[in-house]
């Protein structure tokens, strides 16, 4: 997920523009036009930091000198200084909130993702943790990037990305078999094909129709185990990837991971984010640049 700077700058500028409106009136009244300041961005909680690349590009494009002290993906303790910045005071105070909102949300996502992965790794399992497209509206890039920084899998980046046959597609197609056949026939060679199944018995139908990945939708850990057994019995286990999705939480994730699925995806990583507490503190302020 590498975006050249100018592309990212535009995304960031649009976010800022909404917040600024016709301009920061408080700052204009209090801060002289030519004053400069130094400041530190500080994490007030323990967590995994994300958004450093985005913050740097936002800040540099607004003319700041930026010194990054913590890399994307690094775990920090409370009170850790993430970056030091210096530049125009008016601009600093105008972008402060937007900047912190980006780092806070992205770090919150990375922190949650990392915790889930660590839980799985401690149990000596290799299951991947993935997010879904259940992001904050319009934040697909930022939310997916944060998952990646946290060590997770980004899953589909948008609807043109992988073929994912979901419940409503199957209703329209008539059956899993018909849906996959249609897709197999005309899909680009460059795409993987995933199918969502809601019952254990559909798993072998999906596997036999040569799906690359099968999503076990809202399966209980027991159903998941049955699905794995079925595939082993049919000697397809290991030839198709299995993704568990739906109803999985930090509490029950090991119950799923231990059944042998390859990927576990959770909507809540991105739709129910707990932001990390990040603040900007001015350390020095000069009236004249």
Among 91, 107, 113, 204, contact with a second copy (rule: CB under 8 A): 91
Among 124, 126, 168, 288, contact with a second copy (rule: CB under 8 A): 168
Q: How far is the CB of 199 from a second copy (least distance, A)?
A: 17
Q: Catalytic: 122? A: no
Among 157, 205, 236, 255, contact with a second copy (rule: CB under 8 A): 157
Among 86, 98, 113, 204, contact with a second copy (rule: CB under 8 A): 98
In the DSSP assignment, the letter for residue 92 is: H
Residue 288 interacting with a second copy (CB under 8 A): no
Residue 126 interacting with a second copy (CB under 8 A): no
CB 83 within 8 A of CB 55: yes
Residue with Cβ nearer a second copy (102 or 227): 102
Instruction: Give the interface size with a second copy as a residue count (CB under 8 A).
Output: 112
Contacts of 70 (CB under 8 A, 6+ apart): 43, 49, 52, 76, 80, 81, 82, 83
Q: Catalytic: 9? A: no
Among 86, 142, 149, 240, contact with a second copy (rule: CB under 8 A): 142
In DSSP notation, 125-166 reads ---EEE--S--STT-HHHHHHHHHHHT-B---SSTTSSEEE-
Q: How far is the CB of 59 from a second copy (least distance, A)?
A: 11
Cα 167 to Cα 202: distance, rounded to the nearest angstrom? 12
Residue 123 interacting with a second copy (CB under 8 A): no
Residue 116's alpha-carbon distances to 46, 132, 141, 153, 244, in angstroms, are 15, 15, 21, 12, 14
Task: Identify residues 2-21 at the interface with a second copy (CB under 8 A).
Answer: 2-7, 9-10, 13-21
Q: Which one of the listed residues 75, 84, 134, 210 is annotated catalytic?
A: 134
User: Which SS3 state, helix, strand or coil, does residue 104 take?
Assistant: helix
Among 77, 124, 126, 172, contact with a second copy (rule: CB under 8 A): 172
CB 211 within 8 A of CB 195: yes
Task: Identify residues 212-271 at the interface with a second copy (CB under 8 A).
Answer: 213, 241, 243, 262-263, 267-268, 271
Cα 191 to Cα 222: distance, rounded to the nearest angstrom? 31
Q: How far is the CB of 258 from a second copy (least distance, A)?
A: 19
Q: Which one of the listed residues 44, 79, 166, 178 is annotated catalytic?
A: 166
CB 278 within 8 A of CB 141: no
User: Which SS3 state, helix, strand or coil, does residue 84 take?
Assistant: strand
What is the set of active-site residues?
A: 97, 134, 166, 196, 217
């Amino acid at each position: 997920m590498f975006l050249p700077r100018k592309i990212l700058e535009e995304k960031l500028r649009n976010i800022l523009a909404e917040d600024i409106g016709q301009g920061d009136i408080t700052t204009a009244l209090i801060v002289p036009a030519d004053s400069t300041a130094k400041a530190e961005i500080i994490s007030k909680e323990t967590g995994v930091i994300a958004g450093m690349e985005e913050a740097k590009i936002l800040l540099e494009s607004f003319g700041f000198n930026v010194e990054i002290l913590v890399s994307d993906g690094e775990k920090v303790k409370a009170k850790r200084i993430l970056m030091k910045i210096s530049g125009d005071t008016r601009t600093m105070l105008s972008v402060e909130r937007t900047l912190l909102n980006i780092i806070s949300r992205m770090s919150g996502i990375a922190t949650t993702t990392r915790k889930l992965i660590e839980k799985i790794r401690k149990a000596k399992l290799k299951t991947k943790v993935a997010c879904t497209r259940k992001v904050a509206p319009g934040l697909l890039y930022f939310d997916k990037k944060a998952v990646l920084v946290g060590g997770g899998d980004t899953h589909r980046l948008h609807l043109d990305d992988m073929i994912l046959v979901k419940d409503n597609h199957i209703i329209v197609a008539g059956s899993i078999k018909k849906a996959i056949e249609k897709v197999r026939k005309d899909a680009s060679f460059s795409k993987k094909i995933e199918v969502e199944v809601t019952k254990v018995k559909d798993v072998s139908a999906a596997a036999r129709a040569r799906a690359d990945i099968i999503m076990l939708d809202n399966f209980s850990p027991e159903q998941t185990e049955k699905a794995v057994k079925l595939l082993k019995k049919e000697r397809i286990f290991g030839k198709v990837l299995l993704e568990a999705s739906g109803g999985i939480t930090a509490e029950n994730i090991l119950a799923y991971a231990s059944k042998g699925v390859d990927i576990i995806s959770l909507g809540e990583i991105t739709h129910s984010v707990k932001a990390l507490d990040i603040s900007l503190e001015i350390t020095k302020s000069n009236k004249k640049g």
